[in-house]
Chain A
Amino acid sequence: MARGMAPRVIFVAKFGLAIIVLYVIVALNPVNDRVIVPFTEIVARSAAALLRVVDSGIQSTGTVISSPTFAIDVRNGCNGIEAMILVCAAIFAFPATLRSRVVGLLAASVAIQILNVVRLGSLFWLGANHRRFFDLFHVAVWQSLIILAAITMFILWSWKFAEKPLARAR
């Protein structure tokens, strides 16, 4: 277990530092008000558009998705930003070329947001139709799945994109 621990510890230290710095940036009021909230509104609009495929009565106002019988407010923690921060920190901590990092970050962010819109749509449907399952899926299932997807994307990126240029460089 001890063999090979040093690179892992270095990775985790860089990852931890990056995640704290990114969190602080995102938590700043001007960033939250001018970037995160408008972004969350776009996420809410996208999820509402997806839901309107099955129910035309669903609409979004700001960060709220509502129908005549149910409503959810999309807040920090539900907008996919946390998963993007995690991937961003992991990609930062992993040795790779700048181009590989940018490609990985963009691809992972798009994939996370597509999955997050599906998450919000399914949570809204669960809340409207099967309320007793809502909390379990909201807290445990979907949050874990989004982060697992983010970690999977990081692992795939580290195999596919980051490693080859480094290997060639050696």
Chain B
Amino acid sequence: MPRSLWPALAKGAAGFLGGLAFWFALSDPYARLLASLSEPLVRVSERPSVTRLIPRGTELTIDRSDFPPGATRPALALMNLTFNVILLTTLFAVNRKPLGDRNILGLFLASLTLVVVHVAAVVANVQSIYALQLGPWSERNYGPLARNFWGGVAHFYTVIGVFGASFALWWLFRPSLTRAATRT
């Protein structure tokens, strides 16, 4: 336990603001990265492969070549899926020696893993939109089990998984074992 919580709070506030600025500034290019990584995964389960994920600002427009030309394309708000970056940077900022090599390496590894989590979240949310939000088309192409599964996975991530992922990655990759961690 630190002698005072103030240094930890100050480091946490700096990490929070840094993470917020980083997340906000890079949201657009990160949307492009997520689109390019997620689209092939969505298409893996399609015959023929028809899905296109088109980044527009911080949203992904979901297009399919078999949608009617004039139909509204559904969109996925990425910021709801990716803001746990802020949580991750805050948690790493509170570690001892936040700018030390091991902490930076841990943050880097955790961030890389978080990108994988975000790609999985995008795929689950696209499948959830396909399964639940496209009316008769959804019912024709997704059975009750698949609809519940994809809806449940997407909702789980949005409500609690988004936080749990950051906490779990921080716990795994933080450099120095606190006394608490050695007890696990």
Contact = CB atoms under 8 A, between A and B. Distances in A.
B173 interface: yes
Interface stretch (B36-44, B60-68, B82-90, B127-135): B82-90
B25 interface: no
A144 B166 CA distance: 11
A143 B23 CA distance: 15
Given A1-B102, A7-B184, A9-B172, A86 B160 contact: yes
Contact of B167 (A94, A139, A140, A151): A151
Interface residues of B toward A: which range? 35 or more
B16 A16 contact: no
A23 interface: yes
B156 interface: yes
Contacts of B87: 144, 147-148
B141 interface: no
Interface string B102-143: 100110010000000000000000000000000000000000
Contacts of B168: 12, 15-16
Interface in A117-170: 139-141, 143-145, 147-148, 151, 155, 158-160, 162-163, 166
A8 B183 contact: no
Contact of A148 (B90, B178, B180): B90
A160 B2 CA distance: 12
B181 A15 contact: no
A141 B20 contact: yes
A68 interface: no
B83 A162 contact: no
Interface string B64-106: 0000000000000001100110110011000000000010011
Interface residues of A, number: 42
Contacts of A4: 177, 181-182
A24 B58 CA distance: 30
A166 B183 contact: yes
A139 B91 contact: no
A77 B172 contact: no
A166 B182 CA distance: 12
B95 to A, nearest CB: 11
10 contacts: A1-B175, A4-B181, A16-B168, A19-B161, A86-B160, A141-B20, A144-B86, A148-B87, A159-B180, A162-B183
Given A76-B159, A83-B163, A151-B91, 8 more contacts: A1-B106, A8-B172, A12-B171, A27-B156, A85-B160, A144-B16, A145-B16, A163-B179
10 interchain residue pairs of minimum CB distance: A158-B180, A11-B184, A7-B184, A147-B163, A140-B83, A12-B168, A82-B160, A144-B86, A19-B164, A77-B159
Interface of B: 1, 12, 16, 20, 23, 79-80, 83-84, 86-87, 90-91, 102, 105-106, 109, 152, 155-156, 158-161, 163-164, 166-168, 171-173, 175, 177-184
